Homo-oligomer: A and B are copies of this chain.
Amino acid sequence: MESAQLTQMEVNNTKIPPTEAGNRGLVFAVNGEKFEVAITDHSTTLLQFLRSHTRFKSPKLGCGEGGCGACVVVLSKYNPVLDRVEDFSVSSCLTLVCSVDGCSITTSEGLGNSKDGFHPIHERFAGFHASQCGYCTPGMCMSFFSALAKADKTNRPEPPPGFSKLTVSEAEKSIAGNLCRCTGYRPIADACKSFAADVDLEDLGINSFWRKGEPKEVKLRRLPSYTPDVRFNNYPEFLRGRSKSAKSLHFQNNSWYSPTTLEELESLLNSNATGDDMRIVVGNTGMGYYKELGNYNRYIDLRHVPELSMIRKNHQGIEIGAAVTISKVIEFLKEEGQVNSSSDGKQVFKKIADHMEKIASGFIRNSASIGGNLVMAQRKNFPSDIATVLLAVGSIVSITTGYNHERLTLEEFLARPPMDSRSLLFSVQIPFMEPKGNATSIASDSNLVFETYRAAPRPLGNALPYLNAAFLAVVSPHVKGVLINNIQLAFGAYGTKHAIRANKVEDYLFGKILSVNVLYEAVKLVKVAVVPDFGTSHAAYRTSLAATFLFQFLSPFINVGAAISGGLSDGFTGSLQEDSSRICNGSSIGQLTNSTSLSSAKQEVTSSREYYPVGEPMLKSGATIQASGEAQYVDDIPSPPNCLHGSFIYSTKPLARVKGVDLISNNQLSGVAALISYKDIPERGENVGSVAMLGFEPLFADDLTRCAGEPIALVVAEKQKSADLAANSALVKYDTENLDPPILTVEEAVERSSFFEVPAFLYPKQVGDFSKGMAEADYTILSAEIKLRSQYHFYMETQTALAVPDEDNCIVVHTSTQCPEYAHRTIAKCLGIPEHNVRVITRRVGGGFGGKAMRAIPVSIINIQIKVSVNVFVLCED
């Protein structure tokens, strides 16, 4: 059959209709395969596309807002300026699929898989027990892989055979934005560090490759081998040349414009056609914070206008195009910070870069633009770090409104009314800060001191700050101490419209010689200047943090005249660092300048051979396919044809009568199939949604809601998005007339004698003799109060179930539950069908932590519920 020939050699992997004549479609590659598609809904994310239109399901939906890393993929993109392909990690849950035109996407399956052979990353993740539930693993692998590939592409010295050019520190940082709820990170870090040229293998934790103390050669031999992937090049030939041309994707009434010149961009912004339903877009990561579910008719992608994507240096400073990504800014500033690194001004750049590294995570910074950040700060009061830091150094922005170009200070910019959707932030300029130069005209013996601060729930980034601050001072030695020649104090993100300069404090300090008293006065003034808006959480804490930061910044200048002359900034930085790490260790918040906290962990595990092989470090079955992303979770099961998707409408009132639910009529709500409530429970069924220790709980609120967050109804639609939109925009009419107020605390319950009956087996049992013990104790507690707040289980895989009707009134439910047996019982009871008509399949659970024991059941039942009413397949996500 030598001449066997195919009329069409290329398998079209997607059902999305191909481009119609006159409209250019998207072309991109996923793991080397070509995809040519016409996207009609421009708000479709890359993750949605991959998961529903390809067989690559390793990118998972965890948070959908850039915060967890489960969806990370590596994007390879042609950079026309440098004429080379750049690879970087991105969160596919925020990246719009239209913006990957001409790009190549690599997912974990693309690195390796059970058929073509696994990648050593997969094998080492498995061997180091770095994958438990596995839901975070493909994203981890991709974040790490992008760092690995990047390091091996550098011209660093060759690493020892079997290792990468990557360092241990880079290995750790690479996964900083990826959350894992199961492993505690150590095994993951170990797996990653095992590739590093500078790793001490003996330092790595328990694994299935070697036992502690085995010789290094043995260890090396046992590690799945790695050869630096210098040829990692996932940019297929068919993409070359494509990405150079301008493009506009028009589909039906919607368009996606990618102007390539400023003129084009301006005329687009000013055209009548682009009304208010137009959206300027760069990385689209803003969507992670402002989840706008609405659709825009027109998208304007700024990334193809060269002027907006460039960083230029002129004599005044560094001019950064608004579309430049935070990662690129960091890279540039770090390089700037190194050149002639002795000067104080360079230190400023380095510190700005350091601060920026705490923004979100690598995979966000790789696509998030600096302009997008500042616009969010200006327009939507976003608690930006960039605004604060750049405010302190007196940055200048260029904006365009209509055909009108303006340059103004960042401070002026932030104070203006929110810019409209047609205004463009063009660039931001960070002025040079030479202490002896004329930019800030400083006397010759003076020194520039610059520091940034950030307190957030997590020290290493990936959490918005409670407060951030950046302080710039020009100080000079003085006989009485240290003289403040100039000082700029910026605070932000503390629950205010935008970052501010603490002018009153600055004015007070200007020209002063620092003393305890001066500092005390300044701190008092700060407490008046930094006041969160009404309703901000932890308000007092934030204000006192502001004072602390200023104290930290200024206190070293009291009585340290000598130090100043001996190289001020470094000395101070050193002592500051110590301080801050102390703060950090003490309170687990605050800032950490160098993040090497993991590297030195030690863990000794002794295992006895008494119960051999129990206690042996065995490879977890399935760990490798969890890493390669081939492991199938409920949501990875391909939706059957005619599958409907459900979205809950939750109660917002803890105790109220539900008078009605109205879906807002809207053309985006097309495809809504049904609205299901307790009234749709089949005749022989019961309104039960879960079985808990205290008995069955209802599936839906019936006449009364029992708590806020209780499901009231379920919207069922052809697409998950339509269901979500409909559920989110639904109007529930409540009525609380003549109802007692809800019981929200234990105290209220006690007061109103509202108790659950505790089953006998749960009664507390007497242990020992209480009175005797108390009598014998050295100290006795006379009175104490402990309050336990609720805690979120935070499984990475959300509650999901797929119900497939089977013949003879049976139902097969794939559900991510920890207790399939409870689900089974409850489903049958709810539907009023025999238990043998219900089959519950739980292959694996993407994390549960107790949260999928009882609470996974309603989701499952709902599915069946729908089946009864609509008789189609339903995939339901909570």
- With both chains docked as a complex, state the minimum distance between the C-beta of A645 and any C-beta of chain B, in angstroms: 13
Which of A358-366, A426-434, A573-581, A663-671 lines the interface with chain B?
Answer: A663-671
A7:B660 contact, CB within 8 angstroms: no
Residue in chain B with minimal CB distance to A632: B807
A4:B661 contact, CB within 8 angstroms: yes
- Residues from chain B with a CB closer than 8 A to the CB of A5 are 660-663, 675
Q: A7-B665, A663-B7, A665-B7 are in contact. Are A1 and B808 (CB under 8 A)?
A: no
- Chain A 636-671 residues near chain B, CB threshold 8 A: 638-642, 658-666, 669-671
Residue in chain B with minimal CB distance to A2: B660
B672:A7 contact, CB within 8 angstroms: yes
A622:B669 contact, CB within 8 angstroms: no
Residue in chain B with minimal CB distance to A867: B115
The CA-CA distance from A84 to B133 in the complex, in Å, is 64
A592 at the interface (CB under 8 A from B): no
- With both chains docked as a complex, state the minimum distance between the C-beta of A788 and any C-beta of chain B, in angstroms: 35
A3 at the interface (CB under 8 A from B): yes
The CA-CA distance from A10 to B13 in the complex, in Å, is 31
- Residues from chain B with a CB closer than 8 A to the CB of A12 are 671, 718
Q: Which of A11, A673, A809 has the most CB of B within 10 A?
A: A11
A642:B15 contact, CB within 8 angstroms: yes
B660:A1 contact, CB within 8 angstroms: yes
- Residues from chain B with a CB closer than 8 A to the CB of A733 are 3
- Chain A 575-622 residues near chain B, CB threshold 8 A: 622
A631 at the interface (CB under 8 A from B): yes
A2:B659 contact, CB within 8 angstroms: yes
A82 at the interface (CB under 8 A from B): no
- Residues from chain B with a CB closer than 8 A to the CB of A674 are 6, 11
Q: A1-B658, A638-B642, A641-B15 are in contact. Are A808 and B8 (CB under 8 A)?
A: no
A630 at the interface (CB under 8 A from B): yes
The CA-CA distance from A156 to B190 in the complex, in Å, is 87
Q: A642-B638, A870-B11 are in contact. Are A663 and B632 (CB under 8 A)?
A: no
- Residues from chain B with a CB closer than 8 A to the CB of A216 are none
The CA-CA distance from A74 to B424 in the complex, in Å, is 65
Q: A1-B660, A662-B3 are in contact. Are A672 and B8 (CB under 8 A)?
A: yes
A840 at the interface (CB under 8 A from B): no
- Chain A 1-35 residues near chain B, CB threshold 8 A: 1-8, 11-15
A632:B671 contact, CB within 8 angstroms: no
- Residues from chain B with a CB closer than 8 A to the CB of A14 are 642
The CA-CA distance from A662 to B14 in the complex, in Å, is 26
A347 at the interface (CB under 8 A from B): no
- Residues from chain B with a CB closer than 8 A to the CB of A632 are 806-807
A641:B642 contact, CB within 8 angstroms: no
A677 at the interface (CB under 8 A from B): yes
A871 at the interface (CB under 8 A from B): yes
- Residues from chain B with a CB closer than 8 A to the CB of A625 are 807-808
Residue in chain B with minimal CB distance to A665: B7
Q: Which of A631, A677, A807 has the most CB of B within 10 A?
A: A807
B806:A55 contact, CB within 8 angstroms: no
A872 at the interface (CB under 8 A from B): yes
A713 at the interface (CB under 8 A from B): yes
- Chain A 109-162 residues near chain B, CB threshold 8 A: 114-115
The CA-CA distance from A14 to B8 in the complex, in Å, is 28
Residue in chain B with minimal CB distance to A33: B871
A315 at the interface (CB under 8 A from B): no
The CA-CA distance from A13 to B873 in the complex, in Å, is 12
A772 at the interface (CB under 8 A from B): no
Q: A1-B679, A55-B642, A641-B641 are in contact. Are A669 and B8 (CB under 8 A)?
A: yes
Residue in chain B with minimal CB distance to A669: B7
Q: A638-B640, A640-B638 are in contact. Are A630 and B4 (CB under 8 A)?
A: no
- With both chains docked as a complex, state the minimum distance between the C-beta of A577 and any C-beta of chain B, in angstroms: 48
- Chain A 288-321 residues near chain B, CB threshold 8 A: none
- Residues from chain B with a CB closer than 8 A to the CB of A640 are 638, 640-641
A1:B677 contact, CB within 8 angstroms: yes
- Residues from chain B with a CB closer than 8 A to the CB of A672 are 6-8
Residue in chain B with minimal CB distance to A113: B809
- With both chains docked as a complex, state the minimum distance between the C-beta of A774 and any C-beta of chain B, in angstroms: 55
- Residues from chain B with a CB closer than 8 A to the CB of A808 are 114, 622, 625, 630-631
- Residues from chain B with a CB closer than 8 A to the CB of A673 are 8, 11
Q: A6-B672, A808-B622 are in contact. Are A713 and B1 (CB under 8 A)?
A: yes
Which of B631, B638, B712, B870 has a CB less than 8 Å from the CB of A641? Answer: B638
**Interface flags, A798-813, vs B, CB<8A=1, else 0:** 0000000011110000
**Interface flags, A707-741, vs B, CB<8A=1, else 0:** 00000110000100000001000000100000000
The CA-CA distance from A851 to B6 in the complex, in Å, is 32
The CA-CA distance from A665 to B5 in the complex, in Å, is 10
Q: Which of A675, A679, A806 has the most CB of B within 10 A?
A: A675
The CA-CA distance from A671 to B713 in the complex, in Å, is 42
- Residues from chain B with a CB closer than 8 A to the CB of A871 are 55, 115
- Residues from chain B with a CB closer than 8 A to the CB of A659 are 1-3
B713:A4 contact, CB within 8 angstroms: yes
- Residues from chain B with a CB closer than 8 A to the CB of A675 are 4-6
- With both chains docked as a complex, state the minimum distance between the C-beta of A125 and any C-beta of chain B, in angstroms: 15
- With both chains docked as a complex, state the minimum distance between the C-beta of A22 and any C-beta of chain B, in angstroms: 16
The CA-CA distance from A625 to B641 in the complex, in Å, is 22
The CA-CA distance from A871 to B54 in the complex, in Å, is 11
Residue in chain B with minimal CB distance to A660: B3
B638:A639 contact, CB within 8 angstroms: no
- Residues from chain B with a CB closer than 8 A to the CB of A870 are 11
B55:A872 contact, CB within 8 angstroms: yes
- With both chains docked as a complex, state the minimum distance between the C-beta of A15 and any C-beta of chain B, in angstroms: 7
Q: A1-B713, A641-B638 are in contact. Are A807 and B7 (CB under 8 A)?
A: no
- Residues from chain B with a CB closer than 8 A to the CB of A713 are 1, 4
- Residues from chain B with a CB closer than 8 A to the CB of A670 are 8
- Residues from chain B with a CB closer than 8 A to the CB of A114 are 807-809
> Could you list 15 further interchain pairs (A-B, Cβ under 8 angstroms) beyond the known A55-B871, A638-B641?
A4-B661, A5-B662, A6-B663, A6-B672, A6-B674, A7-B672, A7-B726, A8-B669, A11-B674, A11-B870, A15-B642, A55-B642, A114-B808, A630-B807, A638-B642
Between A and B, 8 residue pairs with Cβ closer than 8 Å are A2-B660, A3-B662, A5-B662, A6-B674, A8-B669, A11-B872, A632-B806, A640-B640
Leading 3 A-B pairs by shortest Cβ distance:
A3-B660, A114-B809, A11-B673
